Structure formats: structure tokens, C-alpha cells
Structure 1
Amino acid sequence: MSEKKKTLVLGASINPERYSYKAIHRLVQHGHPVVAIGMSSGEVAGIHIEQVNHIYKDIDTITLYVGPLNQPFFYNYIIDTKPKRIIFNPGTENQELLKLAVENGIETELACTLVLLSVNNY
């Protein structure tokens, strides 16, 4: 079994149709500790969705479910969290944030969290 990676889901939603909702469920099923950050509070797979108010210092991965137009609001939060990597899920690709991440020593991956989990390559 692979190493468990504490993951922050940025753009978490209680809507079962959203990919962030599905990702939280899959991450929990695979045993990864999850922090969920969203615009609205709620709960998914037993994980409380929080708003941006606490900087976590033990995050391995931030998986993005926020579109490029809304990402600038989160730049400082992402950089201050100091994750080891950021996964840019389809539709979240953003050259400005990619550059910021690289400048701050954060690994970036253009990938789909759900696919990575399904092929045991997370």
C-alpha cells in the first residue's frame, strides 16, 4: 500500500456532482487524511468543509478544484501552506500559479486526482 499523503482539497463542495466531492470520498477511501476548504461549510465523507482561516503546515498535497479566475484569492494561502505538491486538476491549469509554486519550491502536477487514485499513482 502506498504512503498516506495529507491532502488539502481546495474548492471542496457538498454537491455530489462536483469532482471535489468525489475526490474527498476517494481520498478517504484510500486512507489519505483530508482537509477540505470551500466557500460554503458542510460535510463530505465525514470531513468538515472549512473556509480559508487556518494555515496547515503538514500538508503534502493541495489538489485544486478552483478555476484560474478565482485562484488569485488563494495564492497567499497556498504558498503559506507550503505543500510538497499542487495537483492542477483539469480546468484549473494556471501559468501564474504554476510559476509561483515553482518559485517557492513546490512540485506541480497537471493531473486528475481521481485518475491518480484509481491507478494507485497518487
Structure 2
Amino acid sequence: MNKKTLVLGASLKPERYSNIAINKLRNYNHEVVAFGLRKGSVRDVEIDSELINYDSIDTVTLYLNPKRQEAYYNYIIGLNPNRVIFNPGTENPEFYALLRQNNIDFEVACTLVLLSIGQY
């Protein structure tokens, strides 16, 4: 099943996990949109540097540390995704509580591992 995914904290640098995740999500034929500090593209995915109210986001996968996430709480909640994935280093109990209040599921997991084991 194609799960439209927003990669938040996307990087143009090939060695960054967000970049690797974009490539792997596309390998599994998931539709991907991305937001990062710098515009550019990874494979066939444009990285937006301005927030866009994307439609039908299934999953937001985070690549921002908890302090940097604060500026995006309302944005993410407003997208009303089915779930948010907190990748290693992004764990954030304050945000978990806000997501619960808004009936948005979340996982503390690694997008790359979930894809590899067929649990995405």
C-alpha cells in the first residue's frame, strides 16, 4: 500500500538519514514530499523550503531534534496525518502528548528499519 509520506528535516546530503529515507521510500514506491532548510531534489522528490499544506499525508517521518520540532507542532497536527514516526534522536514526550490529544498515532521507530522488515 502506498503511504504518502512527508519527510520533515530533509537533507540534500546523501549521507544523512533523511536523504537515505527518501530514496528507500521511493524504492518501495511510496509517494514522498519533503521539507528542509534548503530547496533541491533527492531523486524525483523536490525538497520544499516553505511549509505547504499537503493533502492526504499518511505518515510524517521526523528528522529534527525535539527542540527544532516545536516550531512545527501546529503544522504537523494541521496536516492530520495517520501517524508520526519519531526516528532515533527525535524522541519527544511533549509532542507525543499533543499528538494523543489530537488522535494522531505515533511510533518511536526507524523508518529505514520499518521499511526493511515490511512493517512500514
TM above 0.5: yes
Q: What is the aligned partner in structure 2 of residue 37 from structure 1?
A: 35
Question: 1 CA distance for matches of 2:43 and 2:114?
Answer: 19
Q: What is the aligned partner in structure 2 of residue 15 from structure 1?
A: 13
> Is 2:113 aligned against 1:104?
no
The list of structure 1 runs, each at least 4 consecutive aligned residues, that deviate by more than 3 angstroms after superposition, is none
Q: What is the aligned partner in structure 2 of residue 72 from structure 1?
A: 70
Equivalent pairs: percent with the same residue? Answer: 52
* Unaligned ranges ≥5, structure 1: none
Give the alignment's TM-score, normalised by structure 1. Answer: 0.96
Check the 8 A contact 1:35/1:49 in 2, yes or no: yes
Shift of 1:10: 0.3
Shift of 1:73: 0.8
How many residue pairs match? The answer is: 120
Q: Output the aligned Cα RMSD.
A: 0.7
Question: 2 CA distance for matches of 1:56 and 1:105?
Answer: 19
Which string of whole-angstrom CA distances, capped at 9 and with x for unpartnered residues, describes residues 59-87 of structure 1?
00000000001011111110111100000
Q: What is the aligned partner in structure 2 of residue 52 from structure 1?
A: 50
Give the alignment's TM-score, normalised by structure 2. Answer: 0.97
Check the 8 A contact 2:99/2:106 in 1, yes or no: yes
Question: 2 CA distance for matches of 1:68 and 1:75?
Answer: 10
Check the 8 A contact 1:57/1:82 in 2, yes or no: no
